[in-house]
Amino acid sequence: MGWLSAGEGYEVALVDGRVAARATAGRAAGRQLKSLPRALRDHPEVDRLRRFAEWLDRHATACVAQVDSWMVSSLPVPTGLLARVWPDEAWQSALRDLAVVGDDPDEVGFLRGATEDGELRVVNLDGETVRLSPRTVTLPHPVLLPDLDDIREFAAELGIVQRVEQIHRATWQRPDDLDPKATEIREFSGGSFRSRFALAARASSLGYRVSGGYSTARVRDGDRTVEASVWIGEPYWEDTVETGGLTWQDDNGRALPMREVGPVAWSEGMRMAAALYAGRTIEEGKNA
């Protein structure tokens, strides 16, 4: 974005997401000023730039949220769609360096670019840049990636930093020796909080939905949607509360035996429970 005239002797522009000004006359002509002059703070052009910057922030947040949703669900994403949004810096930032899988589920690579004709530029696990043109790709949830530790090590060698937490996302594998009838896991129950409001606020800040007495996360796992729930206490309860057990329900509200919970729903439910529990009050002298 170029510099815009704003009052006599000044121009303004968005620089690194903030409104900046420079003088157009005098000894400082052409140099960016360290702060916005008082005379410009209420100028209409400055106000428009501020509102535009706020919109850009919201847009970037929405892009990250959408890409995160694609990744958690592991649903196919049309390659043509990626090509259309790639020129947008916010979309590009959210998508760059994510692990993607095309027609061959065993061929994982890191997304580096997309052309207008739907061709993707990907760095494969041999370190080679290849071009792919599948009709769709998936951004797999890390619990579904084979040899995840090797992928993480390779990504570290390449200096890959992901805007959307994927390969370094905390994951949990479902144990094989579960009770066939068990529907609740209490590994992260008993975390004490000073109030129900504090626990609910933590859940919301982590991006989880608070519904009634639960923190919830809806996850598409395979061909169905599953909701993971952690008890956080009755609404309006003013005394201390503790995190409860973790359960999973299907679309009909049926409590799922833990053996029926798929790998993504299991991992995301445990991730939510662990994140809530991590904010608990630790009494002095006790281990965390």
Q: Which of 58, 81, 96 finishes a domain?
A: 58
Q: What is the pTM of this model?
A: 0.84
* Whether 213 and 260 share a structural domain: yes
**Residue 144 DSSP code:** G
Helix axes 196-205, 263-277, angle to 10 degrees: 130
Within 8 A by CB and 6+ apart from 95, the residues are: 67, 82, 85, 86, 111, 164
Residues 111 and 201 in one domain: no
Examine the domain organization and report whether 231 and 244 are in the same domain: yes
- At residue 236, what are phi and psi to the nearest 5 degrees? 70, 5
Domain extent at residue 148: 60-158
Give the closest residue to 121 by CA, choosing from 138, 94, 100.
100
Residues 121 and 82 both lie in one domain: yes
Buried b (16+ CB within 10 A) or exposed e, 219-237: bbbeeeebbbbbbbbeeee
Q: Are residues 192 and 264 in the same domain?
A: yes
Q: Is the same domain home to 125 and 207?
A: no
Instruction: Write phi, then psi, for 251 (nearest 5 degrees).
Output: -60, -25
**Residue 264 forms part of a structural domain:** yes
Q: Which of 95, 85, 45, 107 is nearest to 65 (CA)?
A: 95
Cα–Cα dist 64/166, whole Å: 12
**84: amino acid identity, one letter:** R
Instruction: For residue 98, count CB atoms less than 10 angstroms from its CB and return exposed for 0-12, middle for 13-18, buried for 19 or more.
Output: buried
Here the CATH number for the domain that contains residue 254 is 3.30.310
Residue 127 to residue 109: CA distance in whole angstroms = 9
∠ CA 209-213-216, nearest 5°, is 30
Phi-psi region of 127 (alpha: psi -120 to 50; beta: other; left: phi over 0): left
In a domain, 282, yes or no: no
26 falls within a domain: yes
Q: Are residues 193 and 268 in the same domain?
A: yes
pLDDT at residue 1 in the model: 64
Q: How far apart are CA 139 and CA 74, in angstroms?
A: 6
pLDDT of 103 reads: 87
Residue-by-residue pLDDT tens, the chain, 288 positions? 688 888 778 888 888 888 888 888 877 787 887 888 887 888 888 888 889 999 999 999 999 999 999 999 988 999 999 999 999 999 999 999 999 999 888 889 999 999 988 899 999 999 999 999 999 999 999 999 988 999 999 999 999 999 999 999 999 999 999 999 999 999 999 999 999 999 999 999 999 999 999 999 999 988 899 999 999 999 887 789 999 999 999 999 999 999 999 999 999 999 999 999 999 998 766 665
CB-based burial label for 9 (10 Å; 0-12, 13-18, 19+)? middle
Residue 178, in any domain of the structure: no
Number of domains in the chain: 3
Q: Is 92 helix (H, G, I), strand (E, B) or coil?
A: helix
Q: Does residue 165 lie in a domain region?
A: no
Domain match, 49 and 72 both: no
pLDDT score recorded for residue 11:
84
Same domain, 268 and 193: yes
pLDDT attached to residue 12: 82
Specify the amino acid at residue 253: G
The pLDDT score that the predictor gives to residue 236 is 82
How high is the pLDDT of residue 285?
61
Q: Is residue 288 part of a domain?
A: no
Any domain includes 168: no
> Are 196 and 154 within one domain?
no
Question: Residue 287: its pLDDT value, please?
Answer: 60
Same domain, 50 and 80: no
Q: Does 145 lie in the same domain as 204? A: no
206 found inside a domain: yes
